[in-house]
Amino acid sequence: MSPNEKTLLRALKGETAIPPPIWLMRQAGRYLPEYRAIRAKARNFLDLCFTPELAVEVTLQPIRRYGFDAAILFSDILVVPHALGQRVWFEEGAGPRLEPLRRIQELARLTMSGLHETLAPVYETLRRLHMELPEQTALIGFAGGPWTVASYMIEGGTSKDFAVAKTWAYRAPDEFARIIDLLVESTSEYLIAQVEAGAEVLQLFDSWAGVWPEPGLRRWCLEPVAEIVRRVKVAHPDVPVILFPRGAGPLYEAFAGEAGAEGLGLDTTVPLVWARERLQGAVTLQGNLDPLLLVAGGAALDQAVARILDTLGAGPFIFNLGHGITPETPPEHVERLVSLVRAWRPGA
Ligand code: 1CP
């Protein structure tokens, strides 16, 4: 035991911290009035991500309010296609939009040559956060999984069925592999640079992993993500990585056993007892409160939090949501959640 070490880092070394550390996916964002105030000052969302002064401020807002055990860099998974040269913009209320990549010939327009230059403000944000965070608060850097990012690049935004991207992968897997390879390479470099700028933990968000049958999930999610983990660890063997292959179902076991990461983020649907028995011996688990319970609050929230802690809290565990916080979340429900987690003791 190393009592002075940050609880999140201890948990990712396989230690059981009582109570477990807590942070929330999308903990900075529209549900906070102070975020909306800063957001109104930026010309657009990408400007917010690329203005260190503002990005630092919105990263720190939920830390000040709730004292979470980790701060997550304020940025977005789509800064990578932007830095590769694809046109990316965010429309108010409509989510992200990209000029879609539809023919393999168009891939030649994307290049890693300006990657670090475009992403330099993100590294600057991390350097400032590293200086400014309270000493017990861990700093998480992140990127999207190659499949999830590729889906936005190809579909041109959010998709319901991922028909264009999946059909491409089925019809021309060699072409599709070139897109994924470019993302493996750029994402690995991006994450390594994040560590060098001060990130202490990395999370890979593969939010749309769950749309694939098993072979596709292995080929387009597990393998690329495992390759990123491998490359990051060549450069920085000690940096812990958390994977979030949302919707992977029973294949969560493959992510626990084969990807080389220390942490695994469970989505809302993963059964807790199954996760304890099949996954928790291999990795530190993170999750998986339904974000809508945080909107609802009341007894339903209290009971669900207790059930998660009582089932997973006796092993290496990080409390989190099963997906990102929603803008409708009342900030006082988050306050309640944090006090429930901090008051929890096993068997009490
Ligand atoms: O209008 C606004 O203010 C923009 C809303 C917003 C915010 C606050 C977007 C656009 N991105 C973000 C920040 C963000 N995105 C963070 C850092 C904040 C934090 O965690 O505290 C992170 C980690 C992300 C990651 C992200 N972006 C993911 C993976 C996680 C997930 O929720 O599944 C995905 C899929 C995106 C794409 C994206 N960017 C923005 C939106 C609204 C979306 C989702 C669109 C969709 O549902 O397809």
Pocket test for ligand 1, best of 26, 27, 204 (most atoms within 8 A of CB): 26
The response to whether residue 231 sits with its C-beta less than 6 Å from ligand 1 reads no
Residue 218, domain member (yes or no): yes
Residue 2, domain member (yes or no): no
pLDDT of 294 reads 98
Q: Which domain covers residue 62, as residue numbers? A: 7-343
Task: Give the CATH number of the domain where residue 224 resides.
Answer: 3.20.20.210
User: Which position among 35, 152, 190, 252 bears the catalytic label?
Assistant: 152
The response to whether residue 203 sits with its C-beta less than 6 Å from ligand 1 reads no
pLDDT of 1 reads 55
The response to whether residue 242 sits with its C-beta less than 6 Å from ligand 1 reads no
**What number is the average pLDDT over the span 339-348?**
93
User: Which position among 69, 76, 206, 267 bears the catalytic label?
Assistant: 76
Residue 348, domain member (yes or no): no
Residue 313, domain member (yes or no): yes
Mean pLDDT of the chain: 97
Tens of pLDDT, residue by residue over 273-323, are: 999 999 999 999 999 999 999 999 999 999 999 999 999 999 999 999 999
Nearest residue (by CA) to ligand 1, atom 18, is: 26
Nearest residue (by CA) to ligand 1, atom 29, is: 205
d(CA 98, CA 84): 12
**What number is the average pLDDT over the span 161-172?**
98
pLDDT of 3 reads 65
**What number is the average pLDDT over the span 125-135?**
98
Tens of pLDDT, residue by residue over 39-78, are: 999 999 999 999 999 999 999 999 999 999 999 999 999 9
Instruction: State yes or no: is 252 an active-site residue.
Output: no
d(CA 291, CA 322): 7
pLDDT of 94 reads 82
Instruction: State yes or no: is 230 an active-site residue.
Output: no
Indicate whether 92 pLDDT > 90: no
The response to whether residue 320 sits with its C-beta less than 6 Å from ligand 1 reads no
Instruction: State yes or no: is 39 an active-site residue.
Output: yes
Taking the complete model, does pTM exceed 0.85, yes or no?
yes
pLDDT of 347 reads 84
Residue 299, domain member (yes or no): yes
Indicate whether 113 pLDDT > 80: yes
**What number is the average pLDDT over the span 259-283?**
98
Total structural domains in the chain?
1
Confidence band of 342 (pLDDT split at 50, 70, 90) = very high
Q: What's the N-to-C CA distance of the chain in angstroms?
A: 23
How far, in Å, from the CA of 166 to the mean position of ligand 1? Answer: 22
Indicate whether 339 pLDDT > 90: yes
Residue 217, domain member (yes or no): yes
Element (H, E) at 265: strand 263-265
pLDDT of 2 reads 63
pLDDT of 273 reads 98
Indicate whether 213 pLDDT > 60: yes
pLDDT of 286 reads 98
**What number is the average pLDDT over the span 185-192?**
98
Residue 333, domain member (yes or no): yes
Q: Coil, helix or strand for 322? A: coil
Across 219-248, b (16+ Cβ under 10 Å) vs e yields bbbbbbbbbbbebbbeebeebbbbbbbbbb
CB 50 within 8 A of CB 121: yes
Indicate whether 4 pLDDT > 90: no
Backbone angles phi, psi at 257, to 5 degrees: -95, -25
d(CA 329, CA 96): 21
Indicate whether 231 pLDDT > 70: yes
